[in-house]
Chains A and B, each alone.
Chain A
Amino acid sequence: MKTFKIGGVHPQANKLSAGQRIQQVALPTQAVILLDQHLGAPATPIVAIGDSVKVGQLIAAPTGFMSANVHSSVSGTVTKIDTVTDAWGRHSPAITIDVEADHWLESIDRTPEINRICRLSKEEIIKKIQNAGIVGLGGACFPTHIKLMPPPGKIAEVLIVNAVECEPYLTCDHQLMMEHGEEIFIGISILMKALAVQKTLIGIENNKKDVIDYFQRLANRHFGIEVVPLKMCYPQGGEKQLIDALIGRQVPSGALPIEVGAVVQNVATTFAVYEAVQKNKPLIERVMTVTGKEVKNPGNFLIRFGTPLMAAVEMAGGIPENTGKIIGGGPMMGRAYMNTDVPASKRTSGLLFMPEQDSLREEPQNCIRCGKCISACPMGLEPYLLTNLSERGLYNDLEKNGIMDCIECGCCLFSCPSHRPLLDYVRQGKATVGGIIRARNAKK
């Protein structure tokens, strides 16, 4: 079975919510729509207080090249345009809408029929995706239309669909694939047209046998799409690792996947593309997982952006008694929330409740030079060394030792028997070195 070549670890999968049907979260009375739901600059509001808006209406436009449209996910009246505190205590610009009824824009096709035929040109498709405010739903929230326009001189050869979902606990992609497989395949065909590629590889981790079977049947009916089961190993779904596993090419340090002819899209993104292009529906909702060992009914929930996350949590049985930590995303790369009074956004792939006893790290001991962090690192780095150099502030050496290659997957810290806070230091060093590199490039 295919897999990436260097490093990797095997965390317990704990897919507690696997097989749970997607449930719709009820509309809130007030929706808080964040304007920085994507990588890049926050969008600029184009509505004013007092305006009434419909579901799917554009309410904020991109600020510059690296940014994305934001649409209203509810209908009602704009009551506030200001900043709110997000899950990590940062201030984030947002539009608050008091919800009245559920009126959608007429242009949006809300029928359940599957619309298979797409006669649009490449440019029209990309335009529609851009207008719909679609971003990568795998976590980074990179605006999708930018990925579909390779820089001059670079040619996309293959589309890679990331359906790995290697993060423990999360099942939102898995369930979406089981319930909307046909739409996903249409979305993929549309993306193939937009990229003018003849070939798509869908990488799925081998623990999702049901999806693999189902998708292999669907693939027989679609030209050029191949389903590839991948060995269970974290981070199989890391962009560079996935490309390596599927086409055996390693993206060089500092380069983008297009360098080796690949464009990677998350599977949930392909579904959003289907809805945008075939149904005229902008990105206003997503599926998220609410889970945890003590959560009463772990499940997968379709939630409109702007809905308080707690609404989904209530449906899963509420916050467990002995919760010590709440994580946005999975346990390997997710971020611990400081504040749970926050709305859903394009970024929210899941909410994981960790019981108190699992929430604290063990006390670090001396490095015993066992080299386990080196064998675990999927980028072939020496995390113990990066940590050491970062502690001592030796930024030149950090750069030479490849700190910018670190994908922050957490494999090093996960496997260190001495519980050294490796990634904490690596992250710090990486931020500083990144700043130095940017400053250096700016001077040139």
Chain B
Amino acid sequence: MNQLIVSPAPHVHNSDSVAKNMYSVVIALVPAYLAALYFFGLGALLVSLTAVVSCVLFEYLIQRFLLKTKPSVWDGSAILTGLLLAFNLPSNLPIWMVILGALVAIGIGKMSFGGLGNNIFNPALVGRVFLLISFPTQMTTWPRPLGNWGLASYIDAETAATPLAMMKGGLAEMPSHIDLLLGNTGGSMGEICAAALLLGGIFLLCRKVITWHIPVSILLTVALFTAILHFANPTVYASPLTHLLTGGLMLGAIFMATDYVTSPMTFWGQIIYGVGIGILTVVIRTWGAYPEGMSFAILIMNAVTPLLNTYIKPKRFGEKRKKEN
């Protein structure tokens, strides 16, 4: 026996770690990733690989040479940012744009705030919105889903409108709910297959990586809000189910809005955050200039998060009783 180790209690840990959480999310993204490869083929592969490799590389370079701190790329957060960024891009986006997006996501979205844990905005969304504003045409032209693991799909792909864009132009040619659920529709590479995203979400809930509060409050708010609109005028406003299954809603609600660092920590904080995202998304989708509002809604609520963390406190033990007296 050597020198005794003396440290304060507790002396055990549940062996959770940052890396475990990050890689769990990566695993949860696999079904949606497979769907993306199936529908968009080579394009999806190229875009995602580029995004992940550049995110990891940029994080490493910035930590190593700019900040001179110990690189922490293996905690999985950069891989996750890369993957989420790719999921939010059209699968035929030029490679250099993907690299630029990754640079903005990691450099500005994450590292400029001081790295993991200190950033206010979801880095992947910072990258995506930067690209959307800089290259609106390329960012809103989606290839038609081929559904044959197609190798030729990157270059000359036919383009397709997204269901949300169709919504804006009237509700005539909407794809069926089944197509929306399975992902047979135009859109960013990772957002199309609602069923795969839901599967990932269930995995994350079971692994206790995320809690139900944020996704459920977002989805319920969107469902309720759009139900009211639909009920008021079904020819102009799409049904709640269509809204739930289209665009980045599932991807956003399950994977983007639940990012630990940029979402609130307490029960009511998370509910308010989720409801806020839900309302903003529907407002932007219905009346805004862009067909999709999820990214903006999440970024806006990211900005509110520090406030929610400061003012929305958990219920303290014995608190209720004090008020009763």
Contact = CB atoms under 8 A, between A and B. Distances in A.
Contacts of A11: 12, 14
B68 interface: no
A362 interface: yes
A391 B291 CA distance: 46
A332 B5 contact: no
Interface stretch (B166-174, B195-203, B315-323): B315-323
A381 B314 contact: yes
Interface in B12-31: 12-14, 16-18, 20-21
B98 to A, nearest CB: 26
A370 B260 contact: yes
B315 A361 contact: no
Contact of B14 (A366, A405, A415): A415
Interface string B46-74: 00000000000000000000000000100
Interface size class of A (residues with CB under 8 A): 35 or more
B177 interface: no
Interface stretch (B99-107, B112-120, B183-191, B225-233): B112-120
A402 to B, nearest CB: 6
Contact of A366 (B115, B264, B316, B321): B115
Contacts of A374: 265-266, 314
A423 B116 contact: no
B317 A423 contact: no
A88 to B, nearest CB: 8
A64 interface: no
A290 to B, nearest CB: 16
B261 interface: yes
Contacts of A372: 16
A418 B18 contact: yes
B69 to A, nearest CB: 11
Interface string A241-263: 00010000111110100000000
Contacts of B313: 382
Nearest to B21: A417
B289 interface: no
Contact of B117 (A332, A334, A366, A410): A366
Nearest to A412: B10
B16 A324 contact: no
- Classify the interface of chain A: helix, strand, loop or mixed: loop
Question: Which of B115, B118, B319 gathers the greatest number of chain A CB atoms within 10 Å?
Answer: B319
Contacts of B11: 325, 327, 331-332, 334, 336, 352, 354, 358-359
Nearest to B213: A371
A334 B317 contact: no
Interface in A7-25: 9-12
A405 B317 contact: yes
A267 interface: no
A337 interface: yes
A368 B260 contact: yes
Contacts of A340: 4
B12 A252 contact: no
Contacts of A319: 1
A36 B65 CA distance: 57
A417 B21 CA distance: 8
Contacts of A337: 4, 6
B314 A369 contact: no
A417 B10 contact: no
A360 B14 contact: no
Contacts of A333: 9-10
Interface string A351-392: 010101011111001111111101101111110100000000
Given A252-B322, A319-B1, A370-B265, A427 B8 contact: yes
Interface string B256-268: 0000111111100
B137 interface: no
A32 to B, nearest CB: 20
A332 B263 CA distance: 30
A90 to B, nearest CB: 13
B182 to A, nearest CB: 32
B10 A332 contact: yes
A105 interface: no
Nearest to A325: B5
A358 B7 CA distance: 12
Contact of B260 (A369, A377, A414): A369
Interface of A: 6, 9-12, 168, 240, 244, 249-253, 255, 319, 321-327, 331-338, 340, 352, 354, 356, 358-362, 365-372, 374-375, 377-382, 384, 402, 405, 408, 410, 413-419, 423-424, 427
Nearest 9 pairs between A and B by C-beta? A371-B265, A410-B10, A366-B117, A380-B316, A370-B260, A250-B318, A417-B16, A331-B11, A336-B6
8 contacts: A253-B316, A253-B322, A255-B318, A334-B11, A336-B9, A369-B263, A382-B266, A415-B14
